[in-house]
Amino acid sequence: MNAEFIEALNALEKEKGISKDVLLSAVESALIFAYKRNYNSQGNVRAEVDGKTGEMHIYASKTVVETVENPTVEISVAQARKVNPLYDVGDVIEEEADTRKFGRIAAQTAKQVVVQRIREAERGNIYDEYVEKENEILTAIVQRVEKGNAFVELGKTDGILTQNEMIPGESYEQNQRIKVYVLEVRKDNKGPQVLVSRTHPGLVKRLFELEVPEIMSGVVQIKSIAREAGFRTKIAVWSSDPQVDAVGACVGPRGIRVERIVSELHGEKIDIVDWDMDSAIYIAKSLSPAKVLMVYINEEEKAAKVIVPDNQLSLAIGKEGQNVRLAAKLCGWKIDIKSHTQFEEAGGTYDSLRTEADDDAGEDFIAYGEENTFAEEESYEAFAEDSEICDETADAYDEDDDGIVFTAEE
């Protein structure tokens, strides 16, 4: 019997991943509950289970008294002195209980306690495993969709993809495999609750790490990501090795790497630009695929004035302001963008801005010139031909002499 008990514990340890010490502790707790249930006692009781032999012992603490009124918690002086002649009234003695006298109800209670403790230990192990996966990417299998939320299988536990964490326009089918980003793992009475996302910028970052070996090795670094899930993402990358083209590495041969990511995100457009420590150059690149004539920056206010050719204003602004809004988020700067005509009609000249920059501390000026606009090879846009600049929106901006301003917070 004892040998079978130890074998059962060893099998549980391997199957559930619960340490033998935890299982032994659960059995000891079950024995204590069973004793108290059997004898209707609230006295001090302890249990011992030998992890090698499987032998079990229960000891109940009893107080030595002259006259026994409650045999469950008291023992007479005469009985106590049979154990040790030195015992006297008021002393506390431990007496071993006979587990064979436990009734059916007590045995059932013990079983329930063991099962409950094993479940708690299993939940704890799962929580410890998945809390380490926060901010990581996992492959999930869609189980069902209820009330707008998708419930997914993540292996040993389930996750919840809430409606506000779904990519707009996406629909999910049962048994569909999707990549998800682990937002948070919470402890719950029913087990760990894993909250996942398809809209978090971290999902794009992890996808690039999976697809681009140069990022995984650390040669290419992702400096910043700005995302409007389901529509467009801008990502700034930098290479620590002059021989490695950061943008080219992310694009991959014939664009295969970035196309896989776009496919996983169901057609979301991705702009990849080179990060630059020069803020003016970085801002100009962030507005890709639009070309830029001039960037004037104020370091103290983190604000930039950008001048673009007239025929590039709509492209620079993007549909409903999306391109400039993402550029502002990517760089962390407030961007005031105007066309060349708007700039001249407002009485501005390159020389005036250059003079203003020279006079003001913390400000800088960079002009690319109309014949030397920012080159397309400095960036890559996945599915650029589908950018769908909104003509009505662009016309509305063209009529505004003050240009268009976006901040990183918008």
Residue-wise pLDDT for 152-211, tens only, equals: 999 989 999 999 999 998 999 999 999 999 999 998 877 789 999 999 999 999 999 999
Architecture of domain 278-410: 2-Layer Sandwich (3.30)
Q: Where in the chain is the domain with CATH 2.40.50.140?
A: 133-199
Rounded to an integer, the average pLDDT of 4-31 is 78
Peptide bond into 213 cis (omega under 30): no
Q: What are the residues whose beta carbons fall under 8 Å from the beta carbon of 175, sequence distance 6 or more?
A: 141, 142
Which of 283, 282, 279, 272 lies closest to 306 in space, CA to CA? 283
Return the beta strands (E) in 303-352 as ranges: 303-308, 334-339
pLDDT tens digits along 352-370? 555 454 444 344 444 443 3
Rounded CA separation 272/220 (Å): 13
pLDDT tens digits along 88-144? 888 888 877 776 666 666 667 777 777 787 888 888 888 999 999 999 999 999 999
- Options 3.40.50.970, 3.30.1480.10, 3.40.50.300, 3.40.50.620; CATH for 2-130 is 3.30.1480.10
Q: Where in the chain is the domain with CATH 3.30.1480.10?
A: 2-130
pLDDT at 377 over 70: no
Question: Does the domain spanning 133-199 belong to CATH 2.40.128.130?
Answer: no
Rounded to an integer, the average pLDDT of 379-389 is 36
Indicate the pTM of the whole model: 0.69
Q: Where in the chain is the domain with CATH 3.30.300.20?
A: 278-410
Res 185: pLDDT: 94
The residue that leads in pLDDT, 26 or 286, is 286
Chain-wide mean pLDDT for the chain?
80
Alpha-carbon dihedral sign for residues 35, 37, 38, 43:
positive
Extract the tokens encoding 331.
Answer: 């760089």
Q: What are the residues whose beta carbons fall under 8 Å from the beta carbon of 18, sequence distance 6 or more?
A: 12, 118, 121, 122, 125
Neighbours of 136 (CB within 10 A): 13
Res 26: pLDDT: 82
Extract the tokens encoding 264.
Answer: 């996983």
